[in-house]
Amino acid sequence: MWDNLQLLFVWAPIINVQVILDGIFVGAVFALSAYGLALVWGVMNIKNLAQGDFVIMGGYLAFALHQMHVPLVLILLIVMPLMFIFGWIIYVVMIRRIIDQDMFVSLLATFGLSLLLQQVINLIFGPEVQTIDMEMPVYDAFDNMVTVPSSKIVTLVLAGVIAVAVVLFMKRSRAGQAIRATAQDPRAARVLGIDIDRVYAFTFAFNAALCGAAGVLVSIIWVIQPFYGITYSVRSFAIVTAAGLGNLPAVIGAGFGIGLFEKYTGAILGTAYEVAAPVCILLLVLIYRQIQMRRNRQVVR
């Protein structure tokens, strides 16, 4: 660990650039799936444990399309609607029935969905680790000390475009307004003529589409395997806990933050601790919140 710190800050500070860049690239992808989770959580109070598996499912759809030589942008345009339809079906079949139940029912149901998705993906695609090799050029700088694959730049740009589109959609469109109104007060929204059931279905489907997009990006920059979903679920939960519900800029900020924290943890303590990093953040945030709440807590006499 001491060696690693010296390496980072004394011997070869230039590799900080690489670590920071990597953190930003992964943060962008995390932010996408985390925002979907925040939406579903905020609007319908469903804690979706299958979030990571939606991401992996999107990744495998992209992988399948890539095998058919579909170009990247088209892959994204096909996977998102496909995942949207899938999300809608899952809502109608399952989520609608658990939405009024207590928290444990939603946790159990989505955990079951997560297991089901893993196994189905495993049955169809097999357990091999897969990746989409776009065979795009890799840029390097500082005497090859910093390398940036163009696939990661493309990923970042796509994530940015999707994020901006989502913000505009939520702010400007009628559907976005309806979602925000339902999140604030479902009863009042219903009184004002909003079809809550439709809004819920749309939100859940929209979340699946966002996860699908994240999955496409993950399959391009990393590797995917049917059982890797859980790490994305954990990261999404950590980000949402840190950022709060329904606040896209905060979610993006937290996404980048966790990406960077993860990469620095990896550089200093070793790659094995990278996955542990978001869980630590989750813990710290919960402890901080607890202390913050204690200050406001009063005893009723």
Partner 1 sequence: MFMKHGIVAAAALAVTLATPALARVDGDTITLGSSISLTGKYATNGLHTQRGYDYAVKVINEAGGVKVGGKSYKLAVKYYDDESTPARGAQLAERLIQQDGVEYMLGPYSSGMTKAIAPVSEKFGVPMVEAEGASRSLFTQGYKYLFAVLSTSEQYLATAVDFAAAKSSDPKSVRIALAFEGDPFSMDVRAGVMDKVKEYGMKVVIDDQLPADLSDMSTTLTKVKALKPDALIISGHSKGAATAARQIDEMKVNVPMIALTHCEAAKVQEKFPKTANGFLCPTQWVETLSKSDAMFGSAADWNAGFKADYPSYTSVPYQSAQASAAVYVFKEAFEAANSLDKDKLRDAISAVEMETFYGDIKFSAQGNNIAKPMFMRQINADGTYGLVEKAGDMVHPRNVAY
Residue 247 dihedral angles phi and psi, to the nearest 5°: -130, 90
Among 191, 272, 293, 299, binds partner 1 (CB under 8 A): 272
Q: Is 222 in the site for partner 1 (CB under 8 A)?
A: yes
| 111 touching partner 1, by CB under 8 A | no
Q: Under the criterion CB under 8 A, does residue 271 sit at the interface with partner 1?
A: yes
The yes or no reply on residue 154 touching partner 1 (CB under 8 A) is no
Both tokens assigned to 239 = 């980000």
203 three-class SS: helix
Answer for which of 4, 45, 177, 247 binds partner 1 (CB under 8 A) is: 4
Q: Taking CB under 8 A as the rule, does residue 108 contact partner 1? A: no
Angle between helices 15-44 and 174-184 (to 10 degrees): 70
| Residue 241 within binding range of partner 1, rule CB under 8 A | no
Question: Are 236 and 41 contacting, i.e. CB atoms less than 8 angstroms apart?
Answer: no
Residue 127 beta carbon to partner 1: minimum distance, rounded to whole angstroms: 3
Gap between the Cα atoms of 161 and 254, Å rounded: 18
Q: Please identify which residue in 89, 153, 175, 230 interacts with partner 1, judged by CB under 8 A.
A: 230
Give whichever of 166 and 224 is closer to partner 1, judged by the CB atom.
224
- Shortest distance in whole angstroms from residue 186 CB to partner 1: 31
- Dihedral in degrees, nearest 10, Cα atoms 136, 140, 146, 150: -20
Reading the block at residue 102, the tokens are: 């207590």
Residues 6+ apart with CB under 8 A from 221: 25, 26, 29, 149, 151, 152, 155
What is the C-alpha separation between 49 and 161, in angstroms, rounded? 26
Q: Based on the shown chain and the rule CB under 8 A, indicate whether residue 63 belongs to the binding site for partner 1.
A: no
User: Binding residues for partner 1, per CB under 8 A?
Assistant: 3-4, 7, 11-12, 14-15, 18-19, 22, 26, 118-119, 122, 126-129, 131, 133, 138, 140, 144-145, 147, 149, 151, 218, 222-228, 230-231, 263, 266-267, 270-275
